[in-house]
Amino acid sequence: MLIPGESNVSYTPPGFLIYGQKDTLLAHRFDIKKLQLTGEPFPIAEHEARAIGMPISLFSASQNGVLVYRVAGFRESRLAWYSRSGVRQGAIGEPGMYWGMSLAADETRLAVMRAEPFTQTTNIWTLDLTSGIFSRQTINTAADIFPEWSPDGRELVFTSDRDNHLKLDLYQKVVGGVGEQLLFESHDNKVPYQ
């Protein structure tokens, strides 16, 4: 074992493992040839968010030194278009609490996890990027999280703890249709990724 605790880990040049510990993002020097850690870890960001109910820190580290992370806490945000140079080009949809976004292959729709304002329950919504109109896809008191589009854009796969709050199962749903189909019943936490 290299790192005690539960977190996702990312290797970044010139030789660091990046991972979360509680609400702090840490970097630890790593010798990739010897596959060994050296020295002590040091904090690179505080108040870093973790996925609901899972040991996943919400960050991404690139191979060219760019680090992106989400700050902990629920708060409203506004989705917006930005140019590649970072200039804001315009808002999309209404303000809300969004995360876990997945862009459809045709790039006209976005699937998001959206928290209900009063209950903090998370459901899956889709956003038509041309009109800015949101459509609710799941209605459940459990957490429906991490949507991913099918290649043809007709279905979504997502994770939910609706049957047992100690595990996450995979569900499939036709976009705009009624009901969901259980795809995989798990004894562990499973999250769909492309």
Report the number of distinct structural domains present in the chain: 2
Is 190 among the domain residues? no
192 within domain boundaries: no
Residue 61 has pLDDT above 90, yes or no: no
The least confident of 4-8, 70-74, 109-113, 173-177 is: 70-74
Structural domain boundaries enclosing 97: 89-184
Mapped onto helix, strand or coil, the DSSP state of residue 107 is: coil
> For 127-147, what is the mean pLDDT?
89
**In the prediction, which pLDDT does 109 show?**
94
- The answer to whether residues 100 and 171 belong to one domain is yes
Q: Which residue has the higher pLDDT, 188 or 144?
A: 144
Q: Distances from the Cα of 158 to the Cαs of 7, 62, 128, 131, in angstroms?
A: 21, 25, 19, 24
* Residue-wise pLDDT tens digits, 22-52: 778 888 999 989 999 999 999 888 877 776 6
What integer pLDDT is reported at residue 194 of this predicted model?
A: 42
Residue 62 has pLDDT above 60, yes or no: yes
Q: Do 51 and 104 have their domain in common?
A: no
pTM of the model: 0.59
Mean of pLDDT values over 87-93:
86
98: CB partners within 8 A, 6+ apart = 77, 79, 112, 113, 114
